[in-house]
Amino acid sequence: MKRSVLAAASLAWAGILLAAFYVVQKPPLSAFAGLADTLWTLLISALLLFDACALGRYVLGWAGWRSREDPPLRLLLSLGIGLGLLGILGLLFSLVQVSTPPLLRLALFLLTLVFLAAGAYRPFRTDARALLDELRLHASGFKPLERLALLLLLFFSFALTLAPQFEAFDALFYHLAQPARTLQDGGLRLVNIPHFWFPNLTENLYLWGLAFKAERTAQLMHFTWGVLSVLLLFLWASRTWGSRLGRKTLLLLATLPSLPIVASWAYADMALCFYTAAALYLLSCFKATPSAAALNALGIACGLAMGVKYTSFVLPLACGILLLLQRPPSRAFRAAAQFSAAALLTALPWYLRNAAFMGNPFYPFAFGGNDWDDFLANWYAAPGTGIGWNFLQILRLPLDATLGYRDANYFDGRIGPLFLILLPAALWSLLTAPRRDPAGAWSLISIGLFSALSFAAWTFGVINSAALWQTRLLFPALLPFAIPSALGWGAIAKLDTSNLRLSFLFNAIVGFVLALTVFETGIFTLQRNPLAVAFGAQTREQYIARVNPPYAALTQLMETLPADASLYSLFEPRSYDLPRRLQPDPILANFTHDLHLYQTPEQIIRQWKTKGYTHLLVYEKGLQFMLENNADYQSTSLRNALSETLNLLQLTSQTPDGVYSIYKIP
């Protein structure tokens, strides 16, 4: 009895002291909510990756491509292609108007259960183990500091995916805004935002994560595509030209300053980079060992690329040309026809969607369509704003693209100096290596032709329009071009003399550039401190207020409006996560187009009211940008019309920094 009393007293004493201590010194229990959200995000991401790998493996197997002898490459291709197939599945849910969070959650859980019951985890585990073993083997060939640099860049990029990406302009514009709008509407609706009708395989993959209230899965999926792209190019180079060249390829990719940053954003670029690398690799496989299975897989990869961006047209064009360069011609035409059928069938859903909803499979280009006219087409194309047919400027394009001072977005398109430094050696390798190395000939030919066509298409674009001056558009060509650049790097050793070891100097240059890239990316990551959000030390709202104060202030300002408020935006294309219904200004043409249609400020306001808008949102920084940079806004009549329109409205509120103004439409 005495023992029981002592035990109870001891327990009570400990409980009282613990309670008193933690009442006075409260632990940061609120952090558990943020940490739990991160763990939930990682769980949903893991489910998506598992299902994608299983789905990709089954579809590739159905197409005849199994590659049992190469588990690492089978894993990379299955996973990357499976992510695209999940995007197509997301589109199908949207088309039949059942893309609601409960149904999407149920579908993903059922898909996971089906694949688990079918034993899909076994080949996944086998392939993953084989890939890790091969990577460990290759890792021993890197110098310790090189390994450290690569691991740091991988860590920085992954850490950035764990933060809400409210700095990523295009994510707030359409990469996240489009799937969020689809979930809000329960399916596809006629939305007057042309970017929502681009091929959007990536956005329909992001739909799954948003349905689970795990928005950061979008960044993790894009990051996965980036990692898959780099690993595929690394293994391709290692298998074809040896592990030394594979290491050089990987180090060159690591010196791209924008790569780890863009890979961490919910964009579409890494998806296109992966499908490009996969298609070029599969094309070289087909050229080395022709088979219907490789041709089908090639067509699927190209079709998925065509579902990511309109600019992907260069990829099937390059592949088709190389397939037609076979002998005899009858065999070439059969191969091209089979490839084209597989590619078109895979890409068809996006173009059929546009034809059905917008009246143009390539909306808004070529044939116009709903909510589109000649005025908008001309405004969007911005003809005559490019560099023109100035021979000197065209000749300087590689240098200007490398320096990045003319790029539309600073962080998006920085490619580092090494690719341009190595360009002469890379071109020499492309011209001479196929004759010396028949095994890698078709790999270099496919990379060379695709890179040439891509650069030509981009050059033609910047000649005509300043809007296309985005070096990021070259990423799908630049990443595979790391292989001939690595060959050029290796060939520099042939210029060594007894007095000058040029290869040693260039190795030192690569090390210097790599170190600076790691340092810069590390500073970028530390400034944002994404782990504070990942571990719950900072809330999502606090992070957004820190990295994008104007947008956070706009969110708070809009919450003060009536729940049924409907806003019309001027000069602000972004709309993601805003708490009231908003018609954004996707190509910054809302006012000029309205003035073109309705002629007077009074008629413009009358039309806004007729369409149900209650308030006007003006992004003052966007307005200032247009006044300073757009030729149309140099017109006094246009400026006066805008000023008169705003004067007819009632300014009701403004963010503290004056960046956003909200007017009430009378």
The 10s digit of each residue's pLDDT in 400-451 is: 888 877 776 766 678 999 999 999 999 998 888 766 666 678 899 999 999 9
475 found inside a domain? yes
503 found inside a domain? no
Do 559 and 470 belong to one domain? no
Residue 97's region, left for phi above 0, alpha for psi from -120 to 50, else beta, is left
235 neighbors 76 (Cβ within 8 angstroms): yes
- Residue 537: which residues within 8 A CB-CB, separation 6 or more? 28, 31, 34, 531
619 found inside a domain? yes
528 found inside a domain? no
Do 150 and 230 belong to one domain? yes
> Of the ranges 14-23, 245-254, 262-271, 553-562, which one carries the lowest mean pLDDT score?
14-23
> Of the ranges 341-355, 521-535, 625-639, which one carries the lowest mean pLDDT score?
625-639
Do 473 and 573 belong to one domain? no
Q: How many residues does the chain have?
A: 666
The two tokens of residue 120 are 């899909």
The two tokens of residue 480 are 């595979």
pLDDT band for position 51 (cuts 50, 70, 90) = very high
SS3 156: helix
Backbone angles phi, psi at 477, to 5 degrees: -90, -35
Do 578 and 658 belong to one domain? yes
78 found inside a domain? yes
Question: Of 495, 513, 529, which residue is a domain's last?
Answer: 495
User: What are 468-507's pLDDT values in tens digits?
Assistant: 888 889 999 999 999 999 999 998 888 878 788 888 999 9
User: What are 171-226's pLDDT values in tens digits?
Assistant: 999 999 999 999 999 999 999 999 999 999 999 999 999 999 999 999 999 999 99
Question: Of 495, 515, 540, which residue is a domain's last?
Answer: 495
Percent of the chain beyond pLDDT 70? 97
Q: State the Cα–Cα distance between residues 305 and 322, nearest whole angstrom.
A: 18
- Residue 599: which residues within 8 A CB-CB, separation 6 or more? none
Do 411 and 559 belong to one domain? no
616 found inside a domain? yes
Q: State the Cα–Cα distance between residues 352 and 358, nearest whole angstrom.
A: 10
Residue 99's region, left for phi above 0, alpha for psi from -120 to 50, else beta, is beta
Do 427 and 559 belong to one domain? no
Domain that holds residue 120: 36-363+384-495
Question: Of 495, 516, 540, which residue is a domain's last?
Answer: 495
Do 424 and 562 belong to one domain? no
Do 260 and 328 belong to one domain? yes
Do 486 and 628 belong to one domain? no
500 found inside a domain? no
Q: State the Cα–Cα distance between residues 559 and 256, nearest whole angstrom.
A: 41
Do 420 and 491 belong to one domain? yes
- Residue 136: which residues within 8 A CB-CB, separation 6 or more? none
* Count of domains forming the chain: 2
453 found inside a domain? yes
pTM score, whole prediction: 0.94
Do 323 and 468 belong to one domain? yes
Averaged pLDDT of the chain = 92
Give mean pLDDT, residues 224-233: 98
Do 474 and 571 belong to one domain? no
Residue that is written with structure tokens 């956005």 in the block: 203
